[in-house]
């Protein structure tokens, strides 16, 4: 009897242990980040021969939180990173964070570092990205030809073919904008007109061409039909819109109304609702920048009745822009209020909409509505970062002090 009893107890214990193990494995979904000190992580890297992946974040970084909720928990990303790297994450404003931030020149968040066991930088990338791109960055870190350190070494050793320069510039685009500009300029100086119609030239145009007055931009504009035949109207159209946007902003700064409205006309006459929206936004930008309140009111009222009617993001942006440039102009502030109010009606649970409305009402001296919007902003800020929560609370406290 005793043997049967203990046999049953042993079986039950094994079953319980198995269940607990399965539960533990199920609870550890996503990328598993070590919680050791940085030196211990490097020791583990030396022991296993794996690179260290570090997620550099801050408590207030919204893209960091997006990555944590949408990519780090993804099965594909987790399987690759857990099997390939020693994973580590650290707040760049706490503990060892500030020292590591300075050591690896972390300027934006999130930043992803890939280090060897000596702590040497092998690869670096930044920004929010989808799962496939995030996994690809990990693969680049392991590639002796595609890692950032390898490309930097090749560049410094004079290996500056167009292909090498393009790859290096694309990598730097995600990690060091100043160095990216330097490499891009060297690349642009090498490109011939014949290069610009090749697949390499098309990559350059898509990634780096923003000004129609520079050589690649001029060539693209002059050969738009050829690019359309090779790469399609949609892809070509995106470049054309980007170049036109840059040109229009330049004309706004120059206050060249004749040239501005001549260039804007194709957008205004377009049958595409998205292009019409851009036309209204750009025309509104012209009027608010030139302090033409009458025409700003006219064009934004038109937008409220048309293409911006349900566009809370666009309306809220225009409201913030006009408030910023109002300089106490009541007419502009009143229109900013109208735009912000409509944005808050469309999407009342959007933090930025309520925050914009609160600030404009405060500036107009409308305490009751400012207080209502500020209280809504505070409630919505609880879903945001701690830094945003502090900003919202400060705004509410200021409004409460209004007379």
C-alpha to C-alpha distance for 269 and 307, rounded to whole angstroms: 13
C-alpha to C-alpha distance for 30 and 72, rounded to whole angstroms: 6
Which is more confident, 15 or 262?
262
What would the mean pLDDT of 190-205 be, rounded to a whole number?
95
**pLDDT score recorded for residue 62:** 80
What are the distances in angstroms from CA 165 to CA 112, 155, 158, 218, 258? 22, 8, 10, 21, 40
Residue 288 · residue 321 · CB < 8 Å: yes
Count the Cβ atoms, other than its own, within 10 Å of residue 238: 11
Sequence-ordered alpha helix ranges (H) in 255-311: 257-268, 273-289, 293-305
Whether 20 shows a pLDDT value over 60: the answer reads no
Residue 128 · residue 122 · CB < 8 Å: no
Which are the contacts of 58, defined by CB distance < 8 A and separation ≥ 6?
64, 91, 92, 93, 109
Lowest mean pLDDT among 24-38, 82-96, 386-400: 24-38
What would the mean pLDDT of 294-301 be, rounded to a whole number?
96
Please give the positions annotated as active site. Answer: 61, 64
CATH number of 255-403: 1.25.40.10
Q: What is the tens place of the pLDDT at every residue in 321-336?
A: 999 998 888 999 999 9
Q: Please report the sign of the dihedral spanned by the C-alpha atoms of residue 197, residue 202, residue 206, residue 210.
A: negative
Whether 10 shows a pLDDT value over 70: the answer reads no
Give the pLDDT band of residue 18 (cuts 50, 70, 90).
very low
**pLDDT score recorded for residue 28:** 54
Both ends of the chain: CA-CA distance in Å? Answer: 86
Quote the Cα angle for 20-24-26, to 5°: 115
**CATH (one of 3.40.50.720, 3.40.30.10, 3.40.50.2020, 3.30.930.10) for 38-142:** 3.40.30.10
Whether 305 shows a pLDDT value over 70: the answer reads yes
Q: Quick check: helix, strand or coil at residue 123? A: strand
**pLDDT score recorded for residue 21:** 40
Domain parsing of the chain, residue ranges? 38-142, 144-190, 205-253, 255-403
**pLDDT score recorded for residue 130:** 96
Residue 271 · residue 287 · CB < 8 Å: no
Q: What is the tens place of the pLDDT at every residue in 125-151?
A: 999 999 999 999 999 999 999 999 999
Mean residue pLDDT of the chain comes to: 91
Q: Please report the sign of the dihedral spanned by the C-alpha atoms of residue 19, residue 24, residue 30, residue 31.
A: negative
Quote the Cα angle for 283-285-289, to 5°: 125
Please tell me the pTM assigned to this model: 0.75
Give the pLDDT band of residue 177 (cuts 50, 70, 90).
confident
Give the pLDDT band of residue 383 (cuts 50, 70, 90).
confident
Which is more confident, 61 or 234?
234
DSSP assigned state of 34: B
Topology agreement, domain 38-142 and domain 255-403: no
Whether 12 shows a pLDDT value over 50: the answer reads no
What would the mean pLDDT of 43-52 be, rounded to a whole number?
97
What would the mean pLDDT of 116-131 be, rounded to a whole number?
95
**pLDDT score recorded for residue 85:** 98
Which are the contacts of 261, defined by CB distance < 8 A and separation ≥ 6?
none
């Amino acid at each position: 009897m005793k043997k049967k009893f203990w046999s049953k107890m042993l079986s039950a214990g094994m079953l319980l242990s198995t269940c607990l193990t399965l539960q533990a494995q199920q609870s550890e979904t996503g990328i598993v980040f070590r919680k050791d000190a940085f030196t211990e992580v490097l020791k583990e890297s030396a022991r296993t021969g794996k690179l260290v992946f570090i997620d550099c974040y801050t408590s207030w970084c919204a893209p960091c939180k997006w990555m944590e909720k949408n990519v780090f928990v993804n099965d594909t990303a987790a399987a690759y990173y857990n099997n390939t790297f020693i994973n580590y994450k650290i707040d760049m404003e706490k503990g060892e964070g500030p020292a590591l931030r300075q050591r690896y020149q972390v300027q934006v968040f999130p930043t992803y570092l890939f280090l060897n066991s000596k702590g040497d930088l092998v690869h670096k990338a930044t920004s929010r990205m989808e799962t496939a791109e995030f996994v690809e960055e990990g693969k680049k870190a392991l590639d002796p030809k595609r890692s950032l350190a390898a490309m930097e070494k090749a560049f410094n050793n004079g290996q500056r073919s167009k292909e090498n320069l393009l790859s290096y510039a694309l990598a730097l685009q995600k990690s060091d904008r100043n160095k990216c500009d330097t490499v891009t300029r060297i690349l642009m100086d090498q490109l011939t007109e014949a290069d610009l119609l090749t697949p390499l030239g098309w990559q350059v145009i898509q990634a780096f061409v923003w000004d129609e007055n520079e050589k690649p931009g001029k060539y693209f504009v002059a050969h738009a039909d050829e690019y359309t035949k090779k790469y399609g109207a949609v892809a070509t159209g995106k470049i054309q819109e980007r170049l036109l946007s840059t040109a229009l902003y330049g004309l706004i700064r120059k206050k060249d109304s004749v040239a501005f409205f001549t260039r804007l006309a194709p957008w205004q006459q377009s049958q595409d609702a998205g292009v019409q929206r851009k036309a209204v936004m750009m025309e509104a930008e012209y009027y608010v920048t030139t302090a033409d309140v009458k025409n700003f009111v006219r064009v934004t009222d038109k937008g409220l009745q048309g293409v911006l009617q349900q566009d809370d993001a666009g309306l809220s942006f225009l409201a913030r822009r006009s408030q910023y440039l109002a300089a106490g102009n009541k007419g502009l502030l009143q229109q900013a209020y109208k735009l912000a109010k409509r944005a808050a009606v469309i999407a009342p649970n959007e933090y930025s909409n309520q925050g914009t409305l609160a600030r404009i009402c405060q500036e107009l001296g409308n305490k009751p509505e400012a207080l209502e919007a500020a209280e809504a902003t505070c409630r919505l800020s609880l879903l945001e970062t701690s830094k945003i929560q502090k900003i919202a609370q400060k705004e509410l406290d200021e409004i409460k002090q209004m007379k």
